[in-house]
A and B are shown apart, each in its own frame.
Chain A
Amino acid sequence: MLTKFETKSNRVKGLSFHSKRPWILASLHSGVIQLWDYRMGTLIDRFDEHDGPVRGVHFHKSQPLFVSGGDDYKIKVWNYKMHRCLFTLLGHLDYIRTVQFHHEYPWIVSASDDQTIRIWNWQSRTCISVLTGHNHYVMCATFHPKEDLVVSASLDQTVRVWDIGALRKKTVSPADDILRLSQMNTDLFGGVDAIVKYVLEGHDRGVNWAAFHPTLPLIVSGADDRQVKLWRMNDTKAWEVDTLRGHMNNVSCVMFHAKQDIIVSNSEDKSIRVWDVTRRTGIQTFRREHDRFWILASHPEMNLLAAGHDSGMIVFKLERERPAFAVSGDSLFYAKDRFLRYYEFSNQRDTQVIQIRRPGSTSLNQSPRTLSYSPTENAVLICSDVDGGSYELYCIPKDSISRGDSVHDARRGIGGSAVFVARNRFAVLDKSSNQVLVKNLNNEVVKKSLLPIAADAIFYAGTGNLLCRAEDRVVIFDLQQRMVLGDLQTPFIKYVVWSNDMESVALLSKHAIIIASKKLVHQCTLHETIRVKSGAWDDNGVFIYTTLNHIKYCLPNGDGGIIRTLDVPIYITKVSGNTIFCLDRDGKNRAIVVDATEYIFKLSLFRKRYDHVMSMIKSSQLCGQAVIAYLQQKGFPEVALHFVKDERTRFNLALESGNIQIAVASATAIDEKDHWYRLGVEALRQGNAGIVEYAYQKTKNFERLSFLYLVTGNMEKLSKMLKIAEVKNDVMGQFHNALYLGNVRERVKILENVGHLPLAYITAKVHGLQEEAERLAAELGDNLPSLPEGKVPSLLMPPTPVMCGGDWPLLRVMKGIFDGGLDNIGRGTADEEYEAADGDWGEELDMVDADDLQNGDVTAILEDGEGGEENEEEGGWDLEDLELPPEADTPRASVNARSSVFVAPTPGMPVSQIWTQRSSLAAEHAAAGNFETAMRLLNRQLGIKNFAPLKSMFLDLQAGSHTYLRAFSSTPVITLAVERGWSESASPNVRRPPALVFNFSQLEEKLKAGYKATTAGKFTEGLRLFISILHTIPLVVVDSRREVDEVKELVIIVKEYVLGLQMELKRREIKDNPVRQQELAAYFTHCNLQLPHLRLALLNAMSVCFKAKNLATAANFARRLLETNPTNENQARTARQVLQAAERNMTDASQLDYDFRNPFVICGATYVPIYRGQKDVSCPYCSSRFVPSQEGQLCTVCDLAVVGADASGLLCSPSQIR
């Protein structure tokens, strides 16, 4: 039993849950009805109008009403919003035991000790039916949740089921009620509205309670015979099914559980018992020490129960509802019912993985509590309370992820909690010895470690680390170092949530959230008044969590707030952007989209990402006092300024942020003295004299204004002030101004005017105004004051200000950030333009370095021929040696003692050697570093004699066949052979062929590049590419026969291009022989080229011949060109023009060795046509044709093989050998 809330009070006789709000009504023996908020644990209201005990109470499903019935024979209907009783229904003649609203009609059913059940219409406030038949107190009466039935229990030892169908028919519309009033009265006590359908007899004592099953035709009853009886009914009869014995005293109340197949009963024996409906056995008993139980109530929608007893009541749950789950990347594993399920966040797909619980485990709270998942091993650890805490380890087969009906065998063990600490290790807490056992996936203990604190649970804390929880603290413990990495005093922590980067951790206790770093350095604590349920980190480092009724956020600085309210508790599994993924209490996955603006805004402020702040303000969806207050409180009045429309607030914020311009504007709009004054003060602080002056002028504060003029040295304005003072007849002001101005004459005048003649005289005298002094002396006559002797008077002049007028220079920083911020958004960078170099078909005369290729490096001198031979010998010898099975040596090896007995094993065979043994592919031999055999193979297969061009390929193959692994420090590195065609299922120790650095797709790329270069007219480049393809092919290995054919095809394609391009380059070389030029151009057109290239070649040959006045030949090319249907209109036009010009004069100026009618091939060396039927020889590799005189020479096309040599053919795939 999970107690959620408890009260202490007088005996509780009646209970009722509110269907929507977290409220419960408790009616007491003392006559008081209490309204509690069981979530917050507060008493909301109390209703005290009944006289004597209140036994029945019930909330209305939708209206703000509840009904109560008491020992004062009164039924009272209350409005809890108005905090008062609306009316009282009178009629019962004895104590009222229960009252209940109908779920649909405006009815109340009441059971009373007067042996009747009454049905009332609370709208017309009348009794509409009296059900008589019981011949003792009726202890309870309730409506059926769907049908027109009432069940009642009475001390006459019967349970009765009443059919009220007739009553319903009579009162279809409430308007009828009044009409029927008189009729009803006649029916009183003899009514046919409600008839007894069944009388259930079987209890030996008075029955205290009877209740319907919410969906099935079942009734359960509890009686003073200490028994609970289960009854079944059909349309015609009802019968007793079974009796549940176990209570030691009168059963007070009994009911079916709405969501599980269980019955809950309570009794005066101070216990609550839970029974299995199908097996009819007791599952669990909860006892109280001193209190007899009187009443039970269940929540209409949630999984909550309440029980009233002698000294209060409890609100409780029978089973935990939190589904166990584990999140890993995009996937969520969770336990639901008997299954482990798998949910993908990205596509919201939900699949059942495996069955995890044997069916039939009946006891409560045995379902999975926590779940831990290891993604690489695809293993799940499930902890539950079975056997006082145990775990089950399931390895999920990869292929059965979608369908799993069978029960998988789990590896089990006992332990407080179990959690993965590494890919293939999990830790199990052994509470009794306070140890952690680290186990592998075979459930074998690998390591044991004593924990630094007495922990009662362990959580994951990064690979190899554990977070251990004790009552009052948590520590992070490194299992390998056996050291405490972090320690934090906390309330009792229930859940631990790590941020995605594992840098921060949120520790959730019942009423607090503590955010700490990965070393458990405390960052902030948030307190909640209601239970914290779950949480997850979003990608920005904001912690999103749920309480019973809210989704909230917590920023890294500890600021929190509400995102939205919740109807039912949810368990957050992941936060992604503004989508919150969660599991609800039914184990269903939900994705809730929330408005993240507020917390993202606050986060941006906190992180000082003012550009974000600005853009959010601009697209402002957030506003309101809360944000403004927050900004002000956090010291961002200048940001708040952007939100505010109200001038007064704006003025205040402007002053706070020192933004004088806005303050002036607001002050002008408000135009109140106080605001002007405050503006003046702020302006003065900032040294903005202009605004100060303006503000003083507005407030008509002349003294301050004068003083301002004085300190800023504005004498002109000061004189004006003097005038103003004079006009206003403000003598003091006048005098001050005169004093500031140093105007003695004026001062004398003022003093004289106000009658201070002696003062005026002294002033005049002292400052040497003799005339005035004498005049005043005359006026004063005898009263002439005497002046002190020996003093030298001087005129007191105010010091000149350092800077006259104007404002002080200001240093503004914030302005830049926030005002500038608006402009900087969305400035793109200019795209880089890439200019392709123009190809040029006409003028490129670069020679290929063919000569170098031919002659270079062949003459390399071999100094150490013998050494090489020796190496070879050694290799061969090693090989023989290693045919011995390694086992032969093993018995001699002694591992235990370091002694001379130990004989080191003979070295094994390097992988490269295995490669050469198995392969007859040249490339693999080259990769293995066995160049000689590679060459011999190539020679035999392709007749290759010239290896110089292949040197770099050989070296690359050899270099690419091994990787390097630094193993132990300061030791030689290990070289590792890289193998080809790796797959997950490849068995170890079976050597596959070497990985080669050349592959067919690279060649295809090169071919494309070669085509491109040809199109662009970069012949040298193109030739280089084509030749390199020809040079690579002997060292390429492909898998299938089909690919072998492709490779062979490629040789032919490339050879044609090489020959063609060689001729074209040759043609450009010879300038002085137009005939030869034409011939070569003509031959070029007979190479097997791609259509665009053929067109270009034809165009070229056509223009060459046309220029040389060989019009007939040119016309032939033009015709051929037109036959290709050139897409380029220019080409076609030129061809047509040539054709036209040629038709007029079909002659050739010079004779060419070219007969296009007679099919021919071109000799690769001499570039002469070899017509069909003429003898020729060919290159064994590239199959280029040559005139017979070239036999024995190096092929000029591929530059590798000897023309006319014997060869077995290209071998480039293991499939050819098999």
Chain B
Amino acid sequence: MATATAPDHLFNLRNNFYLGAYQAAINNSDLPNLSPDDAIERDSLVYRSYIALGSYQLVINEIDSSAATPLQAVKLLALYLSSPDNKESTISSLKEWLADPAIGNNPILRLIAGIIFMHEQDYNEALKHTNAGGTLELHALNVQIFLKMHRSDYAERQLRVMQQIDEDHTLTQLANAWLNLAVGGAKIQEAYLIFQDFSEKYQMTSLILNGRAVCCMHMGNFDEAETLLLEALNKDAKDPETLANLVVCCLHLGKPPSRFLSQLKLSHPDHILIKRATAAEESFDRAVQSVA
């Protein structure tokens, strides 16, 4: 374990980004005296923050063809998310780049590839590019992919790698919380503590509040979850996860969830909760038919 000495200029930026304080990340990105590598990382974080905020077009317009590979990769993500029409072309150019030995190994490009293939639900393809790891972000993404695949054993292995690299890193802690939530049981409490640590240490974001609320719900404490979620709603009235979790929470509290549900339907018609609900409705009707 080497003693770290140099100040980490991008620390706050990264943290803000990982914890969902995207606007804060953008606003505080004007950092002096960055090395060229740091500057590229800074830019990619800022653009990814814009993507997280839904400003795809801004990212597409601002990154021109002369930008560095990581930024190009970020642009691909923006293109992919901006419209369903772009998906195919984006994926094909993504595959092309990944095949290029000169840039194919770029961690950001691989990360973006992982994200895009995750959206495609092609986890095998995603893992093909991300499994080797290399950065904490890639490992964190791996954790998430494995969780999506319901393979918490693999996720745990990834997490251990992350913990060896930097146990106190925000991403490590986050990934730990995700895994804890996924495996459930007593680990939920640990996840809760992790989110609580975050809320004490950094500015409250709806991501942190949602994390805490989800933990509360899993511990059967729906009243506290509701308080947290309403606080999150105060921060960002359109946050899809807040709304979705509020729906769930209201259901458990015996309160009508309709308002949050319709809000979610309006603002994020493609949210997984809506999708699930639609699918459930269909499956109900189907089931009625088949049982009848």
Residues on A facing B (Cβ under 8 Å)? 376, 422-423, 425, 435, 438, 440, 445-450, 462-464, 478, 480-483, 858, 860-862, 864-865, 868, 871, 886, 893-899, 902, 904-911, 929, 931-932, 934-936, 939, 945, 947-948, 951, 954-956, 958-960, 962-982, 984-992, 995, 997, 1002, 1005
Contact = CB atoms under 8 A, between A and B. Distances in A.
A993 to B, nearest CB: 12
A855 to B, nearest CB: 14
B168 A422 contact: yes
B48 interface: yes
A958 to B, nearest CB: 5
Contacts of A908: 149-152
Nearest to A976: B181
B288 A970 contact: no
A978 B248 contact: yes
B186 A971 contact: no
A967 B159 CA distance: 14
A898 B138 CA distance: 12
B291 to A, nearest CB: 4
7 contacts: A447-B1, A463-B197, A862-B286, A865-B289, A948-B288, A955-B280, A955-B284
Nearest to B154: A905
B186 A987 contact: yes
Given A448-B4, A909-B150, A959-B247, A971 B115 contact: yes
Contacts of B188: 982
Interface in B215-248: 217-220, 240-241, 244-245, 247-248
Contacts of A447: 1, 4, 166-168
A902 B182 contact: no
A970 B280 contact: no
A951 B280 CA distance: 10
B179 to A, nearest CB: 9
Given A902-B128, A907-B149, 15 more contacts: A482-B6, A886-B154, A902-B132, A904-B128, A905-B154, A935-B291, A948-B288, A954-B280, A964-B245, A968-B137, A970-B77, A972-B118, A979-B184, A986-B185, A990-B184
B259 to A, nearest CB: 14
A1176 B113 CA distance: 69
Contacts of B129: 898
A948 B6 CA distance: 66
A989 B12 CA distance: 34
A348 B193 CA distance: 28
Interface of B: 1-8, 11-12, 17-18, 20, 22, 48-49, 51-52, 77, 81, 105, 110, 115, 118-119, 123-124, 127-129, 131-133, 137, 140-141, 144, 146-154, 157, 161, 166-169, 174, 178, 180-189, 193, 197, 200-201, 207, 210-211, 214, 217-220, 240-241, 244-245, 247-248, 251-252, 254, 257, 272-273, 276-277, 280-292
Nearest to B5: A450
B272 A988 contact: no
A894 B132 CA distance: 8
Given A898-B131, A905-B154, A969-B52, A964 B81 contact: no
Q: Which 6 pairs, one residue from A and one from B, show the smallest C-beta to C-beta distance?
A: A898-B132, A908-B150, A988-B185, A868-B286, A932-B287, A481-B11
Contacts of A902: 127-128, 131-132
Contacts of A958: 276-277, 280
Contacts of B248: 959-960, 962-964, 978
B286 A932 contact: yes
Nearest to B180: A988
Contact of B276 (A947, A959, A992): A959
A911 B150 CA distance: 8
- Majority SS at the chain A contact face: loop
A895 B132 contact: yes
Contact of B218 (A438, A886, A960, A978): A978
A1091 to B, nearest CB: 28
B289 A931 contact: no
A908 B147 CA distance: 9
Contacts of A973: 240-241, 272
Contact of B167 (A440, A893, A910, A966): A440
A902 B126 CA distance: 12
A954 B181 CA distance: 25
Contact of B4 (A449, A865, A995): A449
Contact of A987 (B3, B182, B185, B251): B185
A893 B124 CA distance: 12
B48 A423 contact: no
Contacts of B247: 959
Contacts of B193: 376, 423
Contacts of B186: 984-988
A956 B277 CA distance: 9
Contacts of A906: 149
Given A376-B193, A902-B128, A986-B184, A970 B4 contact: no
B239 to A, nearest CB: 8
A858 B284 CA distance: 11
Contact of A463 (B201, B285, B290): B201
B254 A1002 contact: yes
Nearest to B197: A423
B133 A970 contact: no
Nearest to A939: B291
Given A449-B4, A962-B276, A989-B183, A898 B105 contact: yes
A886 B153 contact: yes
Contact of A963 (B110, B133, B218): B218
Contact of A896 (B4, B132, B181, B240): B132
Given A446-B168, A860-B285, A988 B184 contact: yes
B171 to A, nearest CB: 9
B165 to A, nearest CB: 11
Contacts of A975: 272, 276
Given A450-B3, A932-B287, A904 B131 contact: yes
A995 B18 CA distance: 30
Contacts of A935: 287-288, 291
Nearest to A449: B4
A1005 B255 CA distance: 13
Given A425-B168, A482-B8, A939-B291, A904 B124 contact: yes
A464 B147 CA distance: 29
A1195 B63 CA distance: 67
Nearest to B194: A423
Given A965-B214, A979-B218, A435 B3 contact: yes
B141 A947 contact: no
Contacts of B283: 868, 871, 929, 931-932
Contacts of B180: 988
A988 B147 CA distance: 14
Contacts of B200: 463
Contacts of B157: 895
B220 A995 contact: yes
Contacts of A947: 284, 287-288, 291
A899 B105 CA distance: 11
A431 to B, nearest CB: 15
B1 A448 contact: yes
Contact of A966 (B124, B132, B189, B241): B241
Contacts of B281: 951, 955
With most chain A CB atoms within 10 A of its CB, the pick from B178, B201, B283 is B283
Contacts of A986: 184-186
Nearest to B144: A967
Given A895-B131, A907-B150, A911-B150, A959 B119 contact: no
A899 B193 CA distance: 37
A262 to B, nearest CB: 44
Nearest to B126: A904
A445 to B, nearest CB: 6
Contact of B123 (A464, A893, A907, A932): A907
Given A450-B3, A985-B186, A480 B286 contact: no
A955 B283 CA distance: 10
Contacts of B146: 905
